A and B are shown apart, each in its own frame.
Chain A
Amino acid sequence: MSFALASEIVHTPPQTVNLRRIERELTALRQNNLAGDIPMLRACTLTLVVFCGLGQDPANLETLLTQIVSSNPARVILIAAPKPGEPWIETRISCYHVEQGATRRQVGEEIDFYPRGAQYDSMPSAVLGLRVSGLPFALYWRGQPDLDDRLFRALVGEADQILFDSAHFTARAERVNNTIARLRLDYPQVSFGDINWQRIRPWREMVAQFFDDPGSMTFLDHITRVQIEFSTGLNGNQSAAILMMAWLASSLGWRVAPGSYERDGMTRRARFISRGYASAAREIEVAIHVREQNDCAPGELTGIRLATPGEAPDAIFQVKRIEGGLADIQELSPNRYVKRSATLRVPHESSVLVAELDAPRRDRNYHRALELLDSLVSGSNRLAF
C-alpha cells in the first residue's frame, strides 16, 4: 500500500511549549506557517490519542503519523510512557501541512506529552481538555492495556474507538485478550479493534477461499487437525496465531473441550468439539508452534494447515508463507489438486490504522473470537496463561 501524499507532507519541527498555553501556541504556529499570503485551509476529522508503551520511542512514530494525517486530518495527542523522576510533563507541538497549488493545507497538529514521575497522574486532565469538540475521539493504545492505569481508564471512558496492537503485548496474549473482552462488556458503545486482527486478514481470506465452492465446503465438517505456525519475536508474541485459532473455531461453531488448552513453551494445544453440519460431532486438535521464516516480522504467521486425517474424504488445505512476500497455496482433496502462488499482502500498521479509523465498527467476528478465547482460558488452568 502506498501513501501518495505522505511524502509531500511537511512536518514542522516540534517546539517545546508551556502546558497551559497549548491552544494559544497552536494558533500562533498556524499563523507562523502561513507562506506569505497563501491561504491556509485547516482540516480535521478526529482527535487521535496515541499512547506509546514502555520501550517505544515516540520519535519513531513520525512516519506512521504522517501517513495517518495524510488521509485522516487529525489532532494527534502523543503520550510517551512515563519515566521516573521529578514530577513534570514536557510538552511539544508541531503541525503537518501540504501545499496544493496556491493553497497550503494543514492536515494535522500534534501535541506530544513526555510525563515524568507522579505528574503522570494528571495526564487525563491535560488530554481531555484538548479534544476537538464534536469530532470522534480515538485512542490507539500502543502497548499492553492495564485496567489499573488511571490514564487508560479515563481515556477509555471518553473514547468512541479504541485500538490495540496485540503484537505489542508483553504478557501472554490470552490474558490480555481477556482484559479486552471484559472492557468490551463494560463499554458497549465503544468500538474496539486490534491491529493484529487485521494483520491476519489475508490469512483468513485465503483459508476461507478453500471452502467457497459448495463441493469443498463439505470438508469443513471433517477437519480434525489444524496446525498454525508463526515466527517468533523477541518476546515470543504469538497473538496472531492465537487469534487465528480463535477465528477458525468461533466461525465454525466449535465448542471448547473442557480443560484442553495447554501451553508448553512456545507451543499451544487446544481441543474443540465440532458442531457437525452434516456429520456427527467430532474432536478437533489445534496446534500452534514456531516455524521461522526469514523475511517475517516477529509474531507473524508463517503457515496454516487444515486436514481431515483418518476421515473420509481425506483432504489437506494448506497456506505457507514463502520468501518474497508470497504465499504457497495448496489444496489436495478428492475434488482437485491445486497448487499456486499469490501475493501475501500483510497490511502495514499505518494502513490498518487508517482503515480502522475510516470505518470504526464493532467487528462481530473479532468479538466472537475473543469470547471463544475467554472460554478457552476459563475452562483450562488459568494460571498457566
Chain B
Amino acid sequence: MLEPQTIANPLREGMRVARAPEPASIIIFGATGDLARRKLVPALYNLARENYMPPVFNIIGFARKPRTDAAMRAEYKQAVAEFSREKIQAETWDSFDENIFYVQSNLDDPDGYKRLKQELERFDQERGTLGNRLFYLAVPPELMPEIVEMLGKAELNTSAGYTRIILEKPFGRDLTSALDLNHRLHQVFDESQIYRIDHYLGKEAVQNLFVFRFANGILEPIWNRTYINNVQITVAETVGVETRGEYYDHAGALRDIIQNHALQLLAVTTMEPPPVFGPDQVRNEKAQVLRAIRPLDFNEIAHATLRGQYGAGAIGGLQVPGYRTEPEVDAASATETYVALKLHIDNWRWAGVPFYLRTGKRLPKRMTEIAVEFNLPPLSLFGKNGVNPLEPNTLVFNIQPDEGITLKIESKIPGQDNRIRPVNMDFRYNSAFGQAAPEAYERLLLDAMLGDPMLFTRYDEVEAQWAVITPILEAWRNIPAPAFPNYEAGVWGPAAADDFIKRDGRKWRRL
C-alpha cells in the first residue's frame, strides 16, 4: 500500500498548476513601505482572487510604525484599490483581508522578533499554517544584514515546515559588499532557503526568451558569433527618480539597472542550453555565461563605457526638472542617470561579438528590449554604390511595454525593378494570446511559495554580475566625471552616445 504522502495529488494530473502552495505565513518586513503597497500586497490579492494562494495563509506586516491589524487592513485595501491590475471585489477582499495581521517593532529590537515568533507559532496552532514561513525583506539593502541576523538569533531561520527568505535588489553595492552579504546570509540561511528577486525574470517576455531560444530548432544553428553581428540591450525609462532620490543618488544607473536587470537579460540571451529545464541547471548556465563576461580593465573603461546625467527638459510635452533639482538629490551630484557599455563574452559561442547595454532615465520612451543584429549577406546582389543598401536582419525581444518579438527582414517592393525595403514581422503577446499576463511579482511570489527558485538569482550569479560592474565603479571614481548634466530630459542620452557606437561602425537602434 502506498503512503499518501509519497504520491502526487491524482486530481492535478494534466493541469496548468501542478499543485497549490502549502498553507503558510508571509511576513513582510517594511510592511508600510512603497514596495509592499504598490507591488506585494496587490500581487498577493490577485493571487488570492485567482485562487492561487494557499488554502490557509497569513500576511503579517512587520514594521516600525504603530498600526493595528484593522489599520493595516484598511491601508492595504486602499493600496490594492490604487495599484492592483484587477479591480477590488468586495467578496474576495473580505476573505483576503481577514488574513492580514501586523506586528509593530523596530527592526533591531530582539523583543519584536520574539513576539513575531510567538505570533507565528500561535497561527500555526490556531490556523493550521504548518510552520511554513516566507519572509519578504522589502527594506533598503543596508538593513538586510541586521534583519537576517535578528531572524537567526530568534531562531526564525528554521521551523517545522519550510522557511524561505526573499530579498529585494540591490544585493550589495559592489563585489566586496555582495560577498559580505552572501556570507552573512549563509551564516543564518542555507542557499536553498534564499530567494533573491530580480523582478525582470518574472516578466512573461523574459520567460518567453527561454522558450523562444530552446523550443525552436531554427535558432540554435545561428545563435553564435558566426551569424550574429552584435546585440543591443536597452532599458529606457521616461521617469526620473520620483520618491527614490536619496537611494538613487547613492546608487546610479549602473548599480540600479545594469548590474541586475540588464546583465540578467544578457545572461538569458547568451546562456548555453541547460541539460534539463530545472532551477539548478538553468542557474548554472546563467552563472557560467556571466562569469565569461570579460571584465573591463582600467584602460578600456574610457572608451567602453559612457555615463550621463539628465538636465531639465520635456517628456511627453511636459517640462521636467533636471536630476540635480530632484527631491533628496545632491545639488552637485555626480551620479549617472545614463550608462552605455560595451561588453564581450569570452567563450566559444560569443567570442568577438560586442554586447551594447544602455539604460537611462528621462529618455523619450519607456522601453526595454534585446535586439540581436545578424550579419549582412556576404555580397549585395541588389544594387551597388549605395542603391538599395541592405539593413541587417534584426530579431528583437520586446520586454516592455508591448511584449513580443519582431523580426526585421528585407523584402522586395512589388514592381518591375528590384527595390528593397525592410519589413517587420511581429508577434505581440496581447494580440496573440489576448490574455493579460500576470504581474511579475505575482509569478515570483507564487514560485517562492511553491519552492521553485528558477526565476530567482543565485549567489554566484550576483557575484559574477558584481565582478563585471565593480571595476567600472572603481575606474569611474578615479576618472573625472563628464560635465553633468550632459543630456536634456527627453532625448536619447548624451550626444556622445552616438559616437560611442559609431566608432565600431554601428549605430543604436532607433526606438
Contact = CB atoms under 8 A, between A and B. Distances in A.
Interface of A: 1-6, 39, 41, 67, 70-71, 100, 201, 204-214, 217-218, 220-221, 248, 251-253, 277-278, 322, 324, 326-327, 329, 331, 335-336, 338-343, 345, 351, 354, 358, 363-365
Given A71-B432, A218-B4, A351-B435, A208 B11 contact: yes
Contacts of B51: 205-206, 209, 327, 329, 342-343
Contacts of B3: 278
A204 B89 contact: no
B15 A251 contact: no
Given A41-B423, A208-B15, A4 B434 contact: yes
Contacts of A363: 14
Interface of B: 1-5, 7, 9-17, 19-20, 22-23, 48-51, 55-56, 89, 91-92, 94-96, 127-128, 423, 425-426, 430-436
Given A212-B19, A336-B55, A351-B435, A204 B128 contact: no
A1 B15 contact: no
Nearest to A364: B14
A336 B56 contact: yes
B59 to A, nearest CB: 14
A3 B2 contact: no
A367 B509 CA distance: 50
Nearest to B91: A341
Contacts, number: 125
Give the top 6 A-B pairs by smallest Cβ distance, nearest first. A208-B11, A340-B95, A342-B51, A5-B431, A3-B434, A341-B91
Contacts of A343: 49-51, 89, 92
Given A208-B15, A322-B91, 17 more contacts: A3-B431, A4-B430, A6-B434, A70-B434, A205-B15, A208-B9, A209-B55, A212-B20, A220-B10, A251-B11, A251-B13, A252-B10, A253-B10, A324-B89, A327-B51, A336-B55, A343-B51
16 contacts: A2-B436, A4-B431, A4-B434, A70-B431, A205-B15, A207-B11, A248-B11, A253-B10, A277-B4, A326-B92, A336-B55, A341-B92, A342-B92, A343-B51, A354-B434, A365-B14
B56 A338 contact: yes
Given A253-B10, A336-B128, A278 B4 contact: yes
Contacts of A2: 434-436
A351 B20 CA distance: 24
Contacts of A3: 431, 434
A3 B56 CA distance: 34
Contact of A211 (B11, B14, B15, B94): B11
Nearest to A336: B128
Given A205-B15, A278-B1, A342 B433 contact: no
A341 B45 CA distance: 12
Nearest to A101: B424
A36 to B, nearest CB: 14
A372 B302 CA distance: 72
A39 B433 contact: no
B12 A214 contact: no
A156 to B, nearest CB: 24
A212 B7 CA distance: 10
Contacts of A71: 431-434
B434 A251 contact: no
B183 to A, nearest CB: 36
A100 to B, nearest CB: 8
B1 A338 contact: no
B49 A342 contact: yes
Contacts of B7: 217, 277
A39 B411 CA distance: 11
